Amino acid sequence: MPSIAILHEGSITAVDYRCTATSNDKPYIEVHGDHSVSYVRRGSFGCHAQGKSFDLVPGSILVGHPGDEYWCTHDHHDGGDECLSFHLSPELIAAADLESNAWHTGSLPPLPPLAILGELAQAAADGRSDLGLDEIGLLLAKRFVDLVSGRKTGISRGNARDRRRAVLAADWIESNAVQPIDLASAAEQTGLSPFHFLRLFREALGVTPHQYLLRCRLRHAARLLVDSDAPITDIAADVGFVDLSNFVRTFHRGSGLSPLRFRCAARGNRKILQEAGTALR
Protein backbone atom coordinates (compact mmCIF):
# COMPACT_ATOMS: atom_id res chain seq x y z
CA MET A 1 0.00 0.00 0.00
CA PRO A 2 1.24 3.52 -0.72
CA SER A 3 2.25 5.97 1.97
CA ILE A 4 0.15 9.13 1.67
CA ALA A 5 0.89 12.46 3.34
CA ILE A 6 -1.39 15.49 2.97
CA LEU A 7 0.87 18.53 2.49
CA HIS A 8 -1.85 21.13 1.91
CA GLU A 9 -5.62 20.92 2.11
CA GLY A 10 -8.25 23.19 0.59
CA SER A 11 -9.65 23.86 -2.87
CA ILE A 12 -6.28 22.48 -3.98
CA THR A 13 -5.06 19.52 -1.95
CA ALA A 14 -1.39 18.61 -2.30
CA VAL A 15 -0.52 14.99 -1.56
CA ASP A 16 2.80 13.19 -1.29
CA TYR A 17 2.43 9.61 -2.59
CA ARG A 18 5.15 7.03 -1.96
CA CYS A 19 4.40 3.58 -3.40
CA THR A 20 6.44 0.48 -2.53
CA ALA A 21 4.62 -1.96 -4.84
CA THR A 22 6.73 -4.40 -6.87
CA SER A 23 6.21 -6.58 -9.94
CA ASN A 24 4.93 -9.33 -7.63
CA ASP A 25 2.00 -7.24 -6.42
CA LYS A 26 -1.29 -7.79 -8.20
CA PRO A 27 -2.75 -4.56 -9.65
CA TYR A 28 -6.26 -3.51 -8.67
CA ILE A 29 -8.77 -1.10 -10.16
CA GLU A 30 -8.94 2.39 -8.66
CA VAL A 31 -11.20 5.35 -9.45
CA HIS A 32 -10.14 8.98 -9.64
CA GLY A 33 -12.20 10.96 -7.14
CA ASP A 34 -11.46 14.38 -8.60
CA HIS A 35 -9.46 16.29 -11.17
CA SER A 36 -5.77 15.80 -10.44
CA VAL A 37 -2.29 16.20 -11.85
CA SER A 38 0.48 14.08 -10.35
CA TYR A 39 4.13 14.82 -11.01
CA VAL A 40 6.30 11.68 -11.00
CA ARG A 41 9.49 12.63 -9.19
CA ARG A 42 11.05 9.18 -8.74
CA GLY A 43 10.65 5.64 -10.04
CA SER A 44 8.45 4.37 -12.83
CA PHE A 45 5.16 2.52 -13.22
CA GLY A 46 2.56 1.55 -15.79
CA CYS A 47 -0.96 2.91 -15.91
CA HIS A 48 -3.95 1.44 -17.76
CA ALA A 49 -7.00 3.64 -18.36
CA GLN A 50 -9.67 4.15 -21.02
CA GLY A 51 -8.40 1.18 -23.01
CA LYS A 52 -4.87 2.60 -23.23
CA SER A 53 -1.60 1.77 -21.52
CA PHE A 54 0.95 4.34 -20.41
CA ASP A 55 4.44 4.09 -18.94
CA LEU A 56 5.33 6.87 -16.55
CA VAL A 57 8.89 7.83 -15.65
CA PRO A 58 10.35 10.74 -13.67
CA GLY A 59 8.96 13.96 -15.14
CA SER A 60 5.76 12.34 -16.42
CA ILE A 61 2.31 13.58 -15.39
CA LEU A 62 -0.51 11.26 -14.31
CA VAL A 63 -3.86 12.92 -15.05
CA GLY A 64 -7.03 12.18 -13.13
CA HIS A 65 -10.66 12.85 -14.05
CA PRO A 66 -13.54 12.21 -11.59
CA GLY A 67 -15.05 8.76 -12.11
CA ASP A 68 -12.38 7.44 -14.50
CA GLU A 69 -11.10 3.96 -13.64
CA TYR A 70 -7.42 3.06 -13.82
CA TRP A 71 -4.92 0.56 -12.49
CA CYS A 72 -1.19 0.70 -12.03
CA THR A 73 1.47 -1.93 -12.66
CA HIS A 74 5.12 -2.15 -11.65
CA ASP A 75 6.51 -4.64 -14.15
CA HIS A 76 9.65 -2.69 -15.04
CA HIS A 77 10.75 -1.18 -11.74
CA ASP A 78 10.85 -2.67 -8.27
CA GLY A 79 12.35 0.32 -6.48
CA GLY A 80 9.02 2.01 -5.72
CA ASP A 81 7.81 5.32 -7.06
CA GLU A 82 6.94 8.74 -5.70
CA CYS A 83 4.51 11.39 -6.94
CA LEU A 84 3.56 14.89 -5.86
CA SER A 85 -0.15 15.19 -6.63
CA PHE A 86 -2.52 18.13 -6.77
CA HIS A 87 -6.26 17.47 -6.44
CA LEU A 88 -8.61 20.28 -7.48
CA SER A 89 -12.12 20.82 -6.18
CA PRO A 90 -15.04 21.09 -8.66
CA GLU A 91 -15.55 24.70 -7.56
CA LEU A 92 -11.95 25.58 -8.41
CA ILE A 93 -12.14 23.82 -11.79
CA ALA A 94 -15.13 26.02 -12.67
CA ALA A 95 -13.77 29.25 -11.16
CA ALA A 96 -10.37 28.93 -12.85
CA ASP A 97 -11.88 27.99 -16.23
CA LEU A 98 -10.20 24.59 -16.26
CA GLU A 99 -13.05 22.55 -17.72
CA SER A 100 -11.55 20.67 -20.67
CA ASN A 101 -11.35 17.30 -22.37
CA ALA A 102 -7.66 17.43 -21.47
CA TRP A 103 -8.55 15.77 -18.16
CA HIS A 104 -9.29 12.53 -20.04
CA THR A 105 -5.68 12.37 -21.33
CA GLY A 106 -4.61 9.76 -18.77
CA SER A 107 -0.96 10.77 -18.70
CA LEU A 108 1.65 12.93 -20.37
CA PRO A 109 5.32 12.15 -21.05
CA PRO A 110 7.98 14.43 -19.57
CA LEU A 111 7.48 17.86 -21.16
CA PRO A 112 9.83 20.73 -20.30
CA PRO A 113 7.16 23.30 -19.27
CA LEU A 114 5.45 20.80 -16.95
CA ALA A 115 8.65 19.21 -15.65
CA ILE A 116 10.01 22.61 -14.67
CA LEU A 117 6.78 23.44 -12.81
CA GLY A 118 6.84 19.98 -11.23
CA GLU A 119 10.32 20.58 -9.85
CA LEU A 120 9.25 24.01 -8.62
CA ALA A 121 6.30 22.36 -6.90
CA GLN A 122 8.61 19.86 -5.24
CA ALA A 123 10.84 22.69 -4.05
CA ALA A 124 7.78 24.36 -2.51
CA ALA A 125 6.78 21.08 -0.85
CA ASP A 126 10.29 20.75 0.60
CA GLY A 127 10.34 24.33 1.85
CA ARG A 128 13.01 25.35 -0.67
CA SER A 129 10.83 27.92 -2.46
CA ASP A 130 8.75 30.90 -1.38
CA LEU A 131 5.89 29.80 -3.62
CA GLY A 132 2.80 28.32 -1.98
CA LEU A 133 1.82 24.76 -2.84
CA ASP A 134 -1.68 25.86 -3.83
CA GLU A 135 -0.25 28.55 -6.13
CA ILE A 136 2.14 26.23 -7.94
CA GLY A 137 -0.49 23.46 -8.10
CA LEU A 138 -2.93 25.80 -9.83
CA LEU A 139 -0.23 26.96 -12.25
CA LEU A 140 0.69 23.36 -13.05
CA ALA A 141 -2.95 22.44 -13.72
CA LYS A 142 -3.52 25.54 -15.85
CA ARG A 143 -0.36 24.95 -17.88
CA PHE A 144 -1.34 21.31 -18.41
CA VAL A 145 -4.79 22.26 -19.72
CA ASP A 146 -3.34 24.98 -21.93
CA LEU A 147 -0.77 22.61 -23.46
CA VAL A 148 -3.15 19.74 -24.15
CA SER A 149 -6.08 21.82 -25.38
CA GLY A 150 -3.94 24.24 -27.39
CA ARG A 151 -5.06 27.30 -25.47
CA LYS A 152 -2.94 30.42 -25.63
CA THR A 153 -1.26 31.25 -22.35
CA GLY A 154 -1.09 35.03 -22.60
CA ILE A 155 -1.76 37.04 -19.44
CA SER A 156 -4.54 39.58 -19.33
CA ARG A 157 -3.63 42.90 -17.77
CA GLY A 158 -6.95 43.27 -16.01
CA ASN A 159 -8.73 46.53 -15.29
CA ALA A 160 -8.10 49.18 -12.64
CA ARG A 161 -10.78 47.75 -10.39
CA ASP A 162 -9.14 44.32 -10.36
CA ARG A 163 -5.72 45.81 -9.68
CA ARG A 164 -7.18 47.73 -6.77
CA ARG A 165 -8.59 44.44 -5.49
CA ALA A 166 -5.07 43.00 -5.52
CA VAL A 167 -3.79 45.88 -3.41
CA LEU A 168 -6.68 45.55 -0.95
CA ALA A 169 -5.95 41.83 -0.75
CA ALA A 170 -2.37 42.66 0.22
CA ASP A 171 -3.74 44.79 3.07
CA TRP A 172 -5.88 41.87 4.19
CA ILE A 173 -2.93 39.47 4.06
CA GLU A 174 -0.83 41.91 6.09
CA SER A 175 -3.55 42.17 8.75
CA ASN A 176 -4.05 38.40 8.97
CA ALA A 177 -0.52 37.15 8.32
CA VAL A 178 -0.33 35.19 11.58
CA GLN A 179 -3.34 33.10 10.51
CA PRO A 180 -3.28 30.19 8.03
CA ILE A 181 -3.90 31.78 4.61
CA ASP A 182 -4.11 29.93 1.31
CA LEU A 183 -4.77 31.09 -2.23
CA ALA A 184 -8.50 30.32 -2.09
CA SER A 185 -9.10 32.27 1.13
CA ALA A 186 -7.16 35.29 -0.17
CA ALA A 187 -8.98 35.21 -3.51
CA GLU A 188 -12.31 35.03 -1.70
CA GLN A 189 -11.64 38.47 -0.21
CA THR A 190 -11.55 39.97 -3.70
CA GLY A 191 -14.43 38.20 -5.41
CA LEU A 192 -12.03 36.95 -8.09
CA SER A 193 -11.38 33.38 -9.15
CA PRO A 194 -8.18 31.95 -7.63
CA PHE A 195 -6.30 31.93 -10.94
CA HIS A 196 -7.45 35.43 -11.89
CA PHE A 197 -6.50 36.66 -8.42
CA LEU A 198 -3.06 35.00 -8.58
CA ARG A 199 -2.40 36.60 -11.96
CA LEU A 200 -3.56 40.07 -10.93
CA PHE A 201 -1.77 40.02 -7.58
CA ARG A 202 1.53 38.93 -9.10
CA GLU A 203 1.21 41.52 -11.84
CA ALA A 204 0.27 44.38 -9.53
CA LEU A 205 2.82 43.75 -6.79
CA GLY A 206 5.55 41.68 -8.44
CA VAL A 207 5.18 38.74 -6.04
CA THR A 208 2.65 35.96 -5.57
CA PRO A 209 0.21 36.08 -2.63
CA HIS A 210 2.18 33.40 -0.77
CA GLN A 211 5.48 35.19 -1.31
CA TYR A 212 3.88 38.36 0.04
CA LEU A 213 2.53 36.45 3.04
CA LEU A 214 6.03 35.13 3.83
CA ARG A 215 7.48 38.62 3.57
CA CYS A 216 4.85 39.93 5.99
CA ARG A 217 5.71 37.17 8.45
CA LEU A 218 9.45 37.77 8.10
CA ARG A 219 9.02 41.51 8.71
CA HIS A 220 7.00 40.79 11.84
CA ALA A 221 9.61 38.24 12.97
CA ALA A 222 12.46 40.71 12.44
CA ARG A 223 10.63 43.27 14.56
CA LEU A 224 10.11 40.77 17.39
CA LEU A 225 13.72 39.60 17.22
CA VAL A 226 14.88 43.19 17.68
CA ASP A 227 12.35 44.30 20.27
CA SER A 228 12.05 41.24 22.51
CA ASP A 229 14.02 38.45 24.15
CA ALA A 230 11.38 35.85 23.29
CA PRO A 231 12.72 32.41 22.26
CA ILE A 232 13.05 31.81 18.52
CA THR A 233 10.47 29.02 18.75
CA ASP A 234 7.88 31.39 20.23
CA ILE A 235 8.57 34.07 17.63
CA ALA A 236 8.17 31.56 14.79
CA ALA A 237 4.76 30.55 16.14
CA ASP A 238 3.72 34.13 16.88
CA VAL A 239 4.23 35.24 13.27
CA GLY A 240 2.44 32.25 11.73
CA PHE A 241 5.09 29.56 11.09
CA VAL A 242 3.94 26.11 12.20
CA ASP A 243 7.34 24.50 11.69
CA LEU A 244 10.45 25.96 13.36
CA SER A 245 12.89 24.56 10.79
CA ASN A 246 10.85 26.11 7.98
CA PHE A 247 10.94 29.47 9.75
CA VAL A 248 14.72 29.32 10.24
CA ARG A 249 15.28 28.24 6.63
CA THR A 250 12.97 30.93 5.22
CA PHE A 251 14.45 33.65 7.42
CA HIS A 252 17.99 32.70 6.43
CA ARG A 253 17.07 32.63 2.74
CA GLY A 254 15.59 36.10 3.02
CA SER A 255 18.21 37.80 5.18
CA GLY A 256 21.39 35.77 4.85
CA LEU A 257 21.34 35.23 8.61
CA SER A 258 19.77 32.78 11.01
CA PRO A 259 17.21 34.40 13.35
CA LEU A 260 19.66 34.16 16.27
CA ARG A 261 22.51 35.82 14.35
CA PHE A 262 20.10 38.47 13.08
CA ARG A 263 19.24 39.29 16.69
CA CYS A 264 22.92 39.56 17.56
CA ALA A 265 23.55 41.79 14.54
CA ALA A 266 20.60 44.02 15.48
CA ARG A 267 22.12 44.49 18.91
CA GLY A 268 25.40 45.84 17.66
CA ASN A 269 27.45 43.03 16.14
CA ARG A 270 28.44 44.77 12.90
CA LYS A 271 30.71 41.92 11.82
CA ILE A 272 27.74 39.57 11.47
CA LEU A 273 25.86 42.12 9.40
CA GLN A 274 28.85 42.61 7.11
CA GLU A 275 29.15 38.83 6.62
CA ALA A 276 25.47 38.64 5.68
CA GLY A 277 25.85 41.44 3.15
CA THR A 278 28.74 39.62 1.51
CA ALA A 279 26.83 36.33 1.40
CA LEU A 280 23.83 37.93 -0.31
CA ARG A 281 25.82 39.53 -3.16
pLDDT in tens, 79-125: 779 999 999 999 999 999 899 999 999 999 999 889 999 998 998 99
What does the pLDDT read at residue 54? Answer: 86
pLDDT in tens, 14-34: 999 999 888 788 888 999 999
CB neighbour list of residue 212: distance below 8 Å, 6 or more residues apart: 170, 173, 201, 205
Q: Kindly tell me if the per-residue pLDDT of 152 is higher than 70.
A: no
The closest alpha carbon to 15, from 48, 43, 37, belongs to 37
CB neighbour list of residue 281: distance below 8 Å, 6 or more residues apart: none
- 275 vs 40, more confident: 40
Counting residues of the chain whose pLDDT is more than 70, the rounded percentage is 91
CA 268/CA 184 separation, integer angstroms: 42
- 18-27, 56-65, 194-203: segment of lowest average pLDDT: 18-27
